[in-house]
Structure 1
Amino acid sequence: MNERDGFEKRLRQARSEQGLDKPPTSGGAVPQSPWGYGLRAGVEVVSALVVGIVIGFLLDRWLGTWPWLFLVFFVLGSAAGILNVYRLFNPRPRSRMK
């Protein structure tokens, strides 16, 4: 029985090194349903857009440059939201360190 336990341990280690075992998921993971992805994508776009609008509005009020910084940060917020959604649907593979 001891040889079998050693073999199981080596097998698990080899499978994890080769990436054949699924890593354990955390309890607070994002749901992997279409509704979960859609809700997260919407929140990403809206939040980035709101942050860009608020920053542009406040800078315009402070510097007296209405509406130029508002428009610039509106475009930057939109681009950031779209980039976040792109990253959501096309995650970069994690490089394995050896």
Structure 2
Amino acid sequence: MTDDQHPPSLDDLDARLRKARERETPSAKAGRYHRLPQSPLGVAWRIGTELVAAMIVGVGGGLLFDRWLGTAPWGLVVMFFLGAAAGVLNVYRSVTGLGYAPGYRRTHREDHDRPHGDGQ
């Protein structure tokens, strides 16, 4: 930009944002922060994957920890339980939708204000 050209004002930006928001469809506005519905099979695969991945990481880390420090089987036992706890926590978060959008936390009112029958 040269000195004689000024950046657009914040009022102009605000007007453009309002126009863009008005063009949104009602369904896009209602479900802006909610996940798209998943099929039951998709949810089952996600839950299974979350649990198995956490267990693999926990048991693998325990085995490496034991080999490194020579503390067999205590590292494996501790990391097994930590992996199981992490897997259950991941499943809970994925099912309830916690942590889906960074910096956003659904309120109890938002969960009850959305229209019924939208599959969410």
What TM-score do the two structures reach when normalised by structure 1?
A: 0.67
Q: Pick from 28, 31, 49 the counterpart of residue 22 of structure 1.
A: 31
Gaps of 5+ in 2: 1-18, 107-120
Alpha-carbon RMSD: 3.2
64, 67, 77: which one aligns with 1:61: 67
**What letter is aligned with 1:59?**
F
In the alignment, which residue of structure 1 is the partner of 2:22? 12
State the alpha-carbon separation in 2 of the partners of residues 56 and 78 from structure 1: 12
Tell me which of 68, 84, 87 is aligned to 2:93: 87
Partner residue, 2:49:
43
Residue 92 of structure 1, CA deviation:
2.8
Aligned-pair identity (%): 44
1:47-68 CA deviation, whole Å, 9 max, x = no partner?
0000000000011011111000
Gaps of 5+ in 1: 1-8, 24-28
The superposition leaves residues 9-57 of structure 1 with CA deviations (integer Å, 9 ceiling, x where unpaired) of 48726988xx83434xxxxx98710000000100000000000000000
Higher helix content, 1 or 2 = 1
Relative to the length of structure 2, the TM-score reads: 0.56
CA distance in 2, matches of 1:91, 1:31: 11
State how far apart, in whole Å, the 2-side matches of 1:40 and 1:30 are. Answer: 14
Structure 1: distance between partners of 2:51 and 2:36? 17
Match of 1:5 in 2: none
2:88 paired with 1:78: no
